[in-house]
Structure 1
Amino acid sequence: MILVYTGNGKGKTSAAVGQAIRAYGHGYKVAFSQFLKRDAQAGEQVVLRKLLDKNFLAGGIGFFRNNSNFDLHRKKALLTLDWIWTKIKSNFFLVVADEILYALGLKLLLEEEIKNTLFLAKDCGVHLVLTGRGLPKFIEQEADLISEIKEIKHPYSKGITANKGIEF
């Protein structure tokens, strides 16, 4: 199945982490990747690395703020996508592509590269989780499950900065 957690609300990565833990708890092989987050940036990475070891990858270099580092961001996104393909071809039960929709929206990954990943996962019988904002129609059509996380209220709108342990 193709599972998508999208929307403008907080909790997409948290939902993907929960999905991964559920599958792992049943003894299934799980791989978890993050496209934009650099290693040691977010709290969930500590737990995922302990749990999944080499089957966890934070493949990004951090926030994409402008095009000055576009080539490096694109290179890291392609390396992360290649890592995902390796896990899919190794018959993992569940592979998470956290923030892949952001990478697509920023043109760090191309539509064709994502389509090929979806088709590969389906051909190999691997469950693939995608997260991020900006769900394109082609993924919506291929997805088996889509959950939209909607922001109703967020402290950022009051000028409150991100809190360690809550937002990252």
Structure 2
Amino acid sequence: MTDDSHRGVEPRAPAEFGLVQAWWGDGKGKTTAAIGMGARAAGHGYRVHLLQFMKGGAASVEDVRGEYGAIEQIDGFSYEHTGHYGWHGFADGSDDDDHAAKARGGLERARDLLASAADADLTEPLALDGDPEAGIHMLILDEVLYAANRGLIDPAEVVGLLDSKPANLELVCTGGHERPAYLDDHVDLVSEVRKERHPIDAGQRARKGTEF
């Protein structure tokens, strides 16, 4: 028998949001973990937004990623993408200056979202279908740490984002293979996702449904 009592999520406000999380490392699963956490929060009726910095596709990865279709089915969860096609530093025909320009655009968008959240009352429920500019309870900045590691944005500017965060907003930052030591005094949770083995090292290309 299927229990449908969880269906029809009502808008609610989190009682204990307001921390800063950082997910980094050379292992697979940082974005996956962050999106899963976003889905969990949305399932409680909280308003969640995902802003992706670096996942613009590549020769082996389609522009339309599987997480977008899933997020569109979740009330209270929205997304947008600011990254350039390809990956910075890869021989994929993409221009490094274009990557930097897109990353800076993502940074400005993150600032706008944080400013809007600061103007909203995050201790109250928010419309699940409302624009993110009307306020969000959780903001996921996917691959922002990768953009900082690659020098596309200044790590000090990432710290500035964290310092401008309103008190009741849960801020989740992901990305990068290098430890973001510059965040040490600014984050509440740090998780390293470490690779022990990855099929890409044996020549396996990114697979639809697991990597995109």
Cα displacement (A) at 1:89: 2.1
Give the CA RMSD over aligned residues: 2.2
Given that residues 49 and 139 in structure 2 are in contact (C-alpha distance below 8 angstroms), is that contact kept between their aligned partners in structure 1? yes
Q: For residues 162 and 7 of structure 1, what CA distance do their matches in structure 2 show?
A: 18
- Using a 3 Å threshold, how does the CA distance of structure 1 residues 49 and 83 change in structure 2: closer, same or farther? farther
Cα displacement (A) at 1:59: 0.8
Match of 1:45 among 63, 68, 80: 68
Match of 1:108 among 152, 165, 172: 152
The yes-or-no answer on 1:56 pairing with 2:79 is: yes
For structure 2, list consecutive stretches of 5 or more residues without a partner in the other structure. 1-18, 58-62, 118-135
Q: For residues 99 and 203 of structure 2, what CA distance do their matches in structure 1 show?
A: 29
- Using a 3 Å threshold, how does the CA distance of structure 1 residues 54 and 83 change in structure 2: closer, same or farther? farther
- Using a 3 Å threshold, how does the CA distance of structure 1 residues 75 and 103 change in structure 2: closer, same or farther? same
Q: For residues 78 and 151 of structure 1, what CA distance do their matches in structure 2 show?
A: 29
**Which residues of 2 match residues 124-163 of structure 1 at below 5 A?**
124-133=167-176, 134-163=178-207
Cα displacement (A) at 1:106: 1.2
Q: For residues 86 and 54 of structure 1, what CA distance do their matches in structure 2 show?
A: 18
The yes-or-no answer on 1:26 pairing with 2:52 is: no
Match of 2:115 among 67, 89, 109: 89
Give the TM-score normalised by structure 1: 0.88
Match of 1:17 among 31, 35, 44: 35
- Using a 3 Å threshold, how does the CA distance of structure 1 residues 4 and 93 change in structure 2: closer, same or farther? same
Cα displacement (A) at 1:156: 1.7
For structure 1, list consecutive stretches of 5 or more residues without a partner in the other structure. none
Given that residues 51 and 142 in structure 2 are in contact (C-alpha distance below 8 angstroms), is that contact kept between their aligned partners in structure 1? yes
**Larger deviation: 71-80 or 39-48?**
39-48
SS state at 1:142 partner: coil
What do the CA deviations read for 1:90-119 (whole angstroms, capped 9, x no partner)? Answer: 222110010111100111111221111010
Cα displacement (A) at 1:32: 0.3
Cα displacement (A) at 1:84: 1.7
Q: For residues 167 and 146 of structure 2, what CA distance do their matches in structure 1 show?
A: 25
